[in-house]
Structure 1
């Protein structure tokens, strides 16, 4: 893996760890951004991690761009020698698949879709070789997901499924973007899932919706009182299919200020995962229910 460094004007350095997303590339990117933060380099004003890359903003009057570049390359050498172990958390996110709200929305935009005769999830199931939507939902919710970056709009997580390449779901985005997407829609584009943190335009396929708030600029939601954005890079997510009754029950808890997502602290080892993906995933999801 050989990173590519480029300057962005006088104040930015963009580092592309790899051309395609992988957990290995994510770990290098995460390790480097954490190292930059820990090093407390004078002049660094912003650190922006992404799926397999990151960008550093700095003040060239405080640190020369060439010196900033040298510092990043030094930190990369240290990151590549790391043990690729992450102390993180696994979070259960309830999802009401094939809900009426995203269904009504997607039906308004069929002329922008690859298959106007099918719903988004029916299309995704078909092109990925599943003989039913139910089997597709099992695949989408059957393995955990890595939060590889948060952004594009405030609080929106991009999630990468933790399975081998041959089993990864792949679905193209809409032919042209929608002008509407319900808040908290669980979407999919390319090989990434996401959760739309706000209502707005979007091009990802819509599979369902979660009743769990993930972004609250007013910080009224109890578990968002410390920070308005719920997810952070390195989080692990387990999607839990729920029905309408369960969805309504969570909504009632949220409105009463009583809902708390199921969260457990876990240790994730990339080497252990690569040696036994299914076994590692099973342990991670079992950890959600450990007392």
Structure 2
């Protein structure tokens, strides 16, 4: 990890029950991994009085009971954990790699984005055409190839219930970057695959939104009824640390998946993996290739 991450850590109080820790002002995968390493260590050696531990994109927050743990003692403990974690390259995470099929340029997000061109930077093109152009790509086909070629790391889940925020697992200079709409839409189809800034996402439910829309997935990621196979004990599918592979599909394949969803048989393909920051940073492309092979293993 970059030493700049460690040098910019800022601790602040949130009322009488919270400590907020900002690892870096700019959001990056190294800053997030350091946040995750610290909060994982805190969970493993959780002192009495810690009520909640919440990692985010480049920060984390701890809620505590001041009647049980002295606030400044907790602050000192957090700083000590940060010192022990260092640059977090020795951190490892047992997590999942997931395959999320995507129908790019689908009719539903296309119809929606055309209704809101007056809120977009480029009213004369679609979202994916605009994203390809400003990222210096030859067109939509190359954009889809770049978007789906590398895995994505889930840094946090929220804002809208069940919505994952994801960093593209490539060197920062190769990340796809696309600004949000100039003004948010009042409608976004459920399970839209979107992008804002450096973050990819999947909209868990239908509603307002400002991220660019590239396609749609048949994979349900939120089920308040807990009736589908992937939702035995919790209504939200994604977890921080999940690694995602977007796989392009055609309309026929999309329709087949939807039939499986409606019949209650659909499950997201997932495998257990170990994420090692040091190996990832030493050779990102090689690490990603090995990671994606896990999905194809029996």
| TM tier relative to shorter chain | over 0.9
1:155 and 2:157 matched: no
Aligned to 1:54: 60
* 1:82-135 per-position Cα deviation (integer Å, ceiling 9, x unaligned): 512222111100011101111111111111100011111110001011111010
* 1:25-83 per-position Cα deviation (integer Å, ceiling 9, x unaligned): 12211111122222222222221110111111112222222122112112222222751
Going from structure 1 to structure 2, the CA distance change for 1:42 and 1:284 (only over 3 Å counts) comes to same
Aligned to 1:259: 266
* 1:193-251 per-position Cα deviation (integer Å, ceiling 9, x unaligned): 00111111111000011100111111111111122111111111000001111111111
Q: Which runs of 5+ in 1 are unaligned?
A: none
Partners of 2:91 and 2:73 in 1: CA distance: 27
Partners of 2:77 and 2:160 in 1: CA distance: 30
How many residues end up aligned between the 2 structures? 291
Aligned to 1:273: 280
SS in 2 for 1:198: coil
Partners of 1:58 and 1:104 in 2: CA distance: 47
Q: Which runs of 5+ in 2 are unaligned?
A: 1-5
Provide the TM-score with structure 2 as the length reference.
0.94
Aligned to 2:134: 127
Aligned to 1:69: 75
Q: In 1, are the aligned partners of 2:34 and 2:87 still within 8 Å (CA)?
A: no
1:162-241 map, 5 Å = 162-241=169-248
Partners of 2:159 and 2:54 in 1: CA distance: 11
Bigger drift between 38-47 and 220-229 goes to: 38-47
Bigger drift between 241-250 and 13-22 goes to: 13-22
SS in 2 for 1:72: helix
Aligned to 1:17: 23
SS in 2 for 1:153: coil
Partners of 1:113 and 1:59 in 2: CA distance: 46
Aligned to 2:150: 143
Partners of 1:270 and 1:217 in 2: CA distance: 34
Aligned to 2:291: 284
Partners of 1:81 and 1:142 in 2: CA distance: 28
Partners of 2:141 and 2:151 in 1: CA distance: 18
Bigger drift between 150-159 and 260-269 goes to: 260-269
SS in 2 for 1:224: coil
SS in 1 for 2:296: coil
Aligned to 2:3: none
Partners of 2:292 and 2:87 in 1: CA distance: 29
Aligned to 1:5: 11
